[in-house]
Amino acid sequence: MELLNNLALGFSTALAPVNLMYGFLGVLLGTTIGVLPGLGPVATISILLPITFTLPPEAALIMLAGIYYGAAYGGSTTAILVNLPGESSSVVTAIDGYQMARRGKAGLALATAALSSFIAGTLATVLIAVMAPALAEVALKFGPADYFSLMVFGLIAAVILANGSVVKAIGMILLGVLLGTMGTDVNTGTPRFTFGVAEFSDGIDFAVIAMGMFGLGETIGNLSRKDETNGVLSEVRGLWPSWAEIRSFLAPALRGTALGSCLGMLPGGGPVLSSFSAYALEKKISRKPGEFGKGAIEGVAGPEAANNAAAQTAFIPMLTLGLPSSAVMALMIGALMMQGLSPGPQLLNNNAQLFWGLIASMWIGNAMLVILNLPLIGIWVKLLSVPYRMLYPAILLICCIGVYSLKSSALDVIVATFFGLMGFVFYRLKCEPAPLLLGFILGPMIEENLRRALLISHGSPVVFVDRAISLTFLIMSVLLLIVMIAPAIRTKRDLAFQEEG
């Protein structure tokens, strides 16, 4: 019953008035910056870091963690309402969430996102409480070869993201991979495709491309359609989903949670990768894959649950090993160090109150987010009744500020504008931006891990089939390819038989 004692300690810590207040402040701030594109948790947490110096450790960590998952939560709001993902992890939510909004189901989409996130947050909290140390061991088992095979699997699955032409999707993925090669080569330090511009030496920021392609591109695209209301129905049905609707998103939310919990622990991908994978999974197993891209509720529930679960399980390697899996987690380690605490295997024993308090606060924070956001949905939806000629300039301006705030770089704004124009071209060509973004994330990771695995094995490719984890993912990749190609072959064969007959 040690677990119950630990959880009791955690909840008594997290429910202490001062911690509760800082937790609320964190999720409130997180939701706010999450709604604003570009302004991410990394910048916010680092600005607040010196202030946490004077706070008790539990309050500091609880507030910063609240900002982090609050931001992941808030990011989906603008994704659904105006197809503008506030955070990179909500890019996928924009696909079907925005379509739901255009069909007048904005309220339902927002409620689905909120409740799926809550389900995921609850289960991920339990998972961390019960299994954190054991899961950290699993994460350590992943070597470069295993990452490579996992990413290959992800890239193949990315094709499923396409709602229209598969050929166009593959083209977009490859374009994304190409864009991802920009920047300094990790192995040799050679600049690639930087055009002699120092600002390009680390490649292009994901948020710059995402905001250009989605935010700016979509805006131009919508304006070119002329009609002022743009098909978004401002009338809204009841905000609380019906029982049938809850049933329809419960299973996807659970699957998304499982997927997100696993991927969240691995460095690099985290919430972004898990939301993409969850979408791909839902589309693949759906009985009506044609609905995806046109406002499928599963396409909102799965990815939203996944990114929230991943945002939480990302704490596992940080809390148990002191290893950050992302920039935000590196900041969390910084926050611990500012408190004079050292993250690592001893944290659990030496600072049990902090450890369990933080875990309990995640669940409380998720509950606060639902309470905070459900009443807000009505207000958010009213935003849609703002005429586009007023809404769009505001969106453009917020996008520009957001992009600029990433690195205080004017060049980033110009680059985002360029991608905005490209986004418009793709919009007209009916090429979807989501596969491009996935290629952009996965491409460099595949390259890095492929080369690293081969360096470690001194050039022997056997390493990819020698390791059980890697082999498993490679077999799954082959199976997935067969599943995707088989219907096409069968159709062709049927045609051939018809011709013979």
Partner 1 sequence: MITRRPFVLGLICGGLALGSGLTLSGAATAQDASNYPNQPIQLVVPFAPGGASDFAARLMQNKLSEHLGQQIVVVNRDGAAGNIGMEMAARAKPDGYTLYLGNVGTVSINPHLFPNLTVKPLKDFIPISIVADTPGLMIARPDFPAKNAKEFVEYVKANPGKINFASPGTGSVNRLEMEALQYAQGLKMTHIPYKGGAGPAAADVMGGHVDVMFVTIATAINNVKAGRLKALAATTKERVASLPEVPTMMEQGLTNRPSSSWQGVLAPAGTPKPIIDKVHAAIVETMRDPTIRERMASAGVIAVSSASPEEFMEYIKADSQQWSDIIEKAGIKAD
Closer of 244 and 390 to partner 1 (Cβ): 390
When asked if residue 18 is in the footprint of partner 1 (CB under 8 A), the reply is no
Q: Which of 130, 223, 337, 425 binds partner 1 (CB under 8 A)?
A: 337
Size of the site for partner 1 (CB under 8 A): 72
Stretch 262-321 residues interacting with partner 1 (CB under 8 A)? 267-268, 317, 321
Q: Which of 191, 239, 251, 352 binds partner 1 (CB under 8 A)?
A: 191
Burial (Cβ within 10 Å: 0-12, 13-18, ≥19) of residue 195:
exposed
Residue 192, H or E segment: strand 191-192
Residue 402 neighbours by CB under 8 Å, 6+ apart: 36, 37, 38, 39, 207, 211
Selected range binding partner 1 among 31-39, 220-228, 269-277, 354-362, rule: CB under 8 A? 31-39
Selected range binding partner 1 among 154-162, 180-188, 372-380, 420-428, rule: CB under 8 A? 180-188
- SS3 state at 1: coil
Q: Which of 16, 178, 254, 338 binds partner 1 (CB under 8 A)?
A: 338
Cα–Cα distance measured from residue 146 to residue 349, given in angstroms and rounded to the nearest whole number = 31
When asked if residue 456 is in the footprint of partner 1 (CB under 8 A), the reply is yes
Min. distance of Cβ 237 from partner 1 in angstroms?
A: 26
Strand partners, 21: none
Asked if 183 and 192 touch (Cβ cutoff 8 Å), the reply is: yes
Cα–Cα distance measured from residue 268 to residue 254, given in angstroms and rounded to the nearest whole number = 23
Cα–Cα distance measured from residue 91 to residue 291, given in angstroms and rounded to the nearest whole number = 18
Min. distance of Cβ 265 from partner 1 in angstroms?
A: 11
When asked if residue 46 is in the footprint of partner 1 (CB under 8 A), the reply is yes
Closer of 51 and 482 to partner 1 (Cβ): 51
When asked if residue 12 is in the footprint of partner 1 (CB under 8 A), the reply is no
Stretch 51-110 residues interacting with partner 1 (CB under 8 A)? 51, 53
CA distances to 113, 115, 184 from 106, rounded to whole Å, are 11, 14, 42
Q: Tokens standing for 29?
A: 């701030």
Alpha helices in 286-432 (DSSP H): 298-313, 315-321, 327-338, 347-350, 352-382, 388-407, 410-429
When asked if residue 187 is in the footprint of partner 1 (CB under 8 A), the reply is yes
Residue 105 C-beta-side C-alpha neighbours within 13 Å: 19
Min. distance of Cβ 405 from partner 1 in angstroms?
A: 6
Q: Tokens standing for 101?
A: 């909004």
Closer of 212 and 324 to partner 1 (Cβ): 324
Closer of 278 and 311 to partner 1 (Cβ): 311
Closer of 185 and 494 to partner 1 (Cβ): 185
The DSSP letter of residue 90 is G
Q: Which of 4, 408, 498, 499 binds partner 1 (CB under 8 A)?
A: 408
Closer of 143 and 171 to partner 1 (Cβ): 143
Stretch 196-255 residues interacting with partner 1 (CB under 8 A)? 198-199, 201-202
Residue for token digits 């917020």?
A: 398
Residue for token digits 């935000």?
A: 328
Stretch 359-388 residues interacting with partner 1 (CB under 8 A)? none
Stretch 118-157 residues interacting with partner 1 (CB under 8 A)? 139-144
When asked if residue 47 is in the footprint of partner 1 (CB under 8 A), the reply is yes
Q: Which of 152, 162, 398, 403 binds partner 1 (CB under 8 A)?
A: 398
Phi, psi of 82 (to 5 degrees): -130, 20
